[in-house]
Amino acid sequence: MTELMTIHNSFHQSQYNHVLQHDTSSLSNTNTLPARIPKLRAQCANNSYNNVISSVSPSEASSSPDLAAIRLLASYCQASSTSSPTDKILSEASTLATSHADNVNVQICIGTLLAKAGEYESALTLMKQHQGSLDVVALIVQTYLLMNRTDLASKECKSARGFAQDALLVNLSEAWVGMREVNHSLSFHPSSHTFVCFSTLIYDSKTGRGEISTSILRL
């Protein structure tokens, strides 16, 4: 269990190479898949989409919804990075979202995929079926931030704080939201037009916010 915790923490700290270097050969059979998924997600985060696609064979994907989900995510990222059509991938993703909505890795990977595709509502419908998964909560927060619904993102953080206290992902989620809440309150400051311009500059140039949201979407 602690092995898995270490892998997850490294992942959430964006230490993707640590995740990949982690030796998981000694893990028991039941932990093989839970350790493999974050490794495949780390490869996606490193833009190594083809490695994921070649390491998960189509037959493996057809027998495991978890692997099917990560393979679809990698295929989607690969296709959109080369501006190739994504319609077929999106429709397969929607099918998987319906048939295995209660699978946490389907929620994570397909939720990420749908949010990346701008299908925020379907992403949220799928992810909201989670059973106390902080990974999914963090992705829900990110999706709300992408939708500019800082209020809902903040609510989500508060409820996560209720059941997860001082978890790393909750701290990170609150920090992401905090960076946006300020921006929001400042842009309505009536007396400072110059500041509004300045704030728009930072906001739009997707400095932190952009980076943070993309990094979260890679979770």
Q: For residue 212, what is the enclosing H or E element?
A: helix 208-217
Q: Which of 42, 82, 38, 74 is nearest to 56 (CA)?
A: 74
Residue 36 phi/psi, 5-degree rounding, is: -75, -35
Please give the distance of CA 182 from its chain centroid, rounded to a whole number. 23
Length of the chain: 219
> What is the x/- site pattern for other proteins, positions 33-62, by CB under 8 A?
------------------------------
Minimum Å gap between C-beta 145 and other proteins is 13
Between residues 103 and 142, which has the closer beta carbon with respect to other proteins? 142
Q: Which of residues 59-88 bind other proteins (CB under 8 A)?
A: 81, 83
| Residues contacting residue 10 through CB under 8 Å, at least 6 positions apart | 16, 18, 19, 22
148 is an interface residue for other proteins by CB under 8 A: no
Minimum CB–partner distance for residue 25 and other proteins (Å): 23
CB contact at 8 A, 142 and 115: yes
Of 60, 102, 151, 211, the one binding other proteins (CB under 8 A) is 211
What is the helix (H) or strand (E) element at residue 64, kind and residue range?
Answer: none
Q: Decide: is 201 part of the binding site for other proteins (CB under 8 A).
A: yes
| CA separation for the pair 77, 53 (Å, rounded) | 11
To other proteins, the closest distance from the beta carbon of 141 in angstroms equals 13
Decide: helix, strand or coil at residue 13: coil
Q: How far is the CB of 80 from other proteins (least distance, A)?
A: 9
Nearer of residues 28 and 83 to other proteins, judged by Cβ: 83
- Looking at residue 56, what DSSP letter applies? S
Kindly tell me which residue out of 13, 21, 50, 62 binds other proteins, with binding defined by CB under 8 A. 13
Q: Rounded distance, CA 137 to CA 97, Å?
A: 17
Q: Which is nearer to other proteins, 13 or 159 (CB)?
A: 13
Number of chain positions touching other proteins (CB under 8 A): 34
Ranges within 161-180 binding other proteins (CB under 8 A): 171-172, 174-176, 178-179
Instruction: Return residues touching other proteins (CB under 8 A).
Output: 13-16, 81, 83, 171-172, 174-176, 178-179, 181-183, 185-186, 189, 192, 195, 201-202, 204-212, 214-215
